[in-house]
Amino acid sequence: MNSPDLVTHKMKADGIILGFSGDDKQIHVYQDNDIYVGQIVKGECSDLEPTHNRSVGQNAYEPDFFFSKDGSALYFSSDREGGFGGLDLYVSTLGIDDTWSIAQNLGPRINTAYDEVTPFMIKNNSRLYFLSKGHSSMRGFDVFFSDLIRGDWGRPQNMRTSINSPTDDIGLVLGPNEKYGFLSSAREGGSGDLDIYKFAIECAFINTAKIRGVVVSDDNVERDSKITFVNMASGKKVTTYPTVSEFGSFVAELKTNQHYITTC
């Protein structure tokens, strides 16, 4: 397995390692407002060469970059002007003349007035995974995917409670076999603040139902609280959802064909 250590001595002090290419023959580094590439041969890294991709480094906050496996497309998040709000996802493609195209916003089907970050493309560049605070997010960042069909993005699908939680789920990384992924989350049951979790992508398709409601006190005044769902058959707590403090409302997503009781 390649190690970032093989390139750190060739980087500038402010350089950031973005990752390896799909075939592990290149390493990508962000520095000097450009993407640099190093060739890996027999465990050694060549000098870093700029790609002259002027789509990045546009005086904007751009925290995430992802190269497609074949190296022909660069996906990234940016809060540059002209977006739909917050951080949006963009793509720049490599032409036959080895020059990078002007970055294109992925559009309103993917981007919202909130933040979209951490893009990953799999299945031969036909499925995009990303994190979003918009769409049907349970609360904070959730993991979503969208399929690219004949050049159009499909409706983003929330990967549901088997992967997402009512807290922020961040730091998404998908494994090279496209079967497993990793994320950081402060969800209940962890060992501390942010814990690292591994998940199987297939488990995102368990049937679930979304429940919306409002927590009120005995005198019918809406209040800030937490609502807990308990599986009646096992007696075990399933999950706890915080309410929106201003209104006392909540959104929960639970497995279907189960019976639950609630406490708050």
Burial (0-12, 13-18, 19+ Cβ within 10 Å), 212: exposed
Q: Both 75 and 193 in a single domain?
A: yes
β-strand 169-174 against 157-158: which pairing, if any?
A: unpaired
pLDDT at residue 1, rounded to an integer: 46
Q: Both 151 and 249 in a single domain?
A: no
Q: Which helix (H) or strand (E) holds 18?
A: strand 16-20
- Residue 123, pLDDT > 80, answer no
- Dihedral of the CA atoms 12, 22, 55, 125 (nearest 10)? -160
- Residue 117, pLDDT > 70, answer yes
Total structural domains in the chain? 2
Tens of pLDDT along 92-102?
998 888 888 99
Domain termination site, one of 206, 229, 248: 206
CB atoms within 10 A of CB 131: 27
Looking at this protein, which amino acid is placed at residue 106?
Answer: L
pLDDT at residue 10, rounded to an integer: 67
* Stretch 153-178: mean pLDDT: 81
Looking at this protein, which amino acid is placed at residue 105?
Answer: N
pLDDT at residue 220, rounded to an integer: 61
Domain termination site, one of 206, 237, 252: 206
Q: Both 214 and 202 in a single domain?
A: no
Q: Domain containing 79: what range?
A: 53-206
